[in-house]
Amino acid sequence: CFFILGLRVTVLLTSSLMVLGAGLRCVPVSDLEIRKKLIHGGQLLNGLAGPTVMNAAPFLSTTWFSPDERATATAIASLLSYLGAAGAFLVGPLVVPSPNGTSSHLPLASPSNTEHIKDRIEAVLYAEFGMVALIFSAALAYFPSRPPFPPSVAAASQRLSYRRSFCRLLSNFRFLMIALAYAIPLGVFSGWSGVLDLILTPVHVSQVDAGWIGFWSIVGGCVVGIAMARFADFIRGMLKFILLLLLSGATLASTWFTLTCLSSVTHLPLTTATLYTSCILLGIFLNSSVPIFFELFVETVYPVPEGITCGVVTFLSNIFMGVLLFFLTFYHTEFSWFNWCLPGSCLLSLLLILCFRESYDRLYLDVVVSV
């Protein structure tokens, strides 16, 4: 989509889908069946806009930034979108009362309590619609597709067509290795974090505490990811080394969390501090690896367009997340198997990165041709 329509048209199309999707969820219809269809339609439109938002960062950084700024730009553009997910961890528990009665003096069966929860949910939906409409208006007013002059040789070079790009990706064994190294742990982690409150309920962690854990893990991942990307810009050719460090930390943190949840067997101390620390460290290590992975993808398969490359790996990640959540519908009474998927996926990713032979084709073009 970036490759054909350009950055401005793609962003406007994406934001318009988000505005329409958020607007459908706010239509005041009393019929519950019609309201349900409108909400599902709005969610579908919002989901259609999702891949563009997730995959825009590498294309944006290549188009607008010089080689010694690209990793930092990719990190900022990709990780700032995570702050919306971090805010969702807080908005839900703090704005909308818990339906189990723990956040309200009124019982669940009370009609006044039900109406209060409904009003708070509608307030959140209206606020989201207002924010999306504001973003669309800003993009419509000013969002150029490219700078007046290309910032690098790679930004001005020709890219492969769609057909040749997919053939190049599917036939490149090294790309398939790092694509799986990204998709497996990030897909598992996305599914796991989505039901974090259910996973922590058996160890007596409230919904609010689970929200704070998710919030700080994402915020920490944003900060560390931008710092790591800035380090990668200063010392080029270190993307594999950075990923090895991050995935090693993710493997240790996920193993610590899983063993802590089995305190009756492992006799590890099960406290709020240990759960907070292990979960937040896991989120920091995995979330901060996203922009580093994106940069390594683009470098490995250049001149395949950035949007196609990142779109393929994002699709793979969503597949793994979907498969995991599908199994969760059958095995939802006990979550120890779900917890063990985390260290297993991180360890597998670490082994794939260890065996991966890195190359920097885009960086080589910029350095050699510019000299």
| Range name among 98-107, 271-280, 326-335, 342-351 with the lowest pLDDT average | 98-107
pLDDT digits (tens, 9 = 90+) for 214-226: 788 888 888 888 9
Task: Report the distance separating Cα 256 and Cα 332, nearest Å.
Answer: 22
Was domain 160-370 assigned CATH 1.10.10.60?
no
- 200-209 mean pLDDT: 73
Q: Looking at residue 109, what is its pLDDT?
A: 44
Averaged pLDDT score across all residues of the chain: 82
At residue 266 the predicted structure's pLDDT band, cuts being 50, 70 and 90, is low
Q: pLDDT tens for residues 95-154?
A: 776 665 444 444 444 555 677 777 788 888 888 899 999 999 998 998 888 888 888 888
Looking at residue 182, its pLDDT comes to 94
Instruction: Report the candidate in 155, 179, 185 with the shortest Cα–Cα distance to residue 308.
Output: 179
Query: Is residue 249 pLDDT above 90, yes or no?
Result: yes
Q: What pLDDT is attached to residue 2?
A: 55
pLDDT of residue 179: 94
Whether the pLDDT of residue 361 is over 90: the answer is no
pLDDT in tens, 35-60: 888 988 988 888 888 777 777 888 88
pTM, rounded to two decimals:
0.81
> Is the confidence at residue 166, as pLDDT, over 80?
yes
Quote the crossing angle between the two packed helices 239-261 and 272-301, to the nearest 10°. Answer: 150
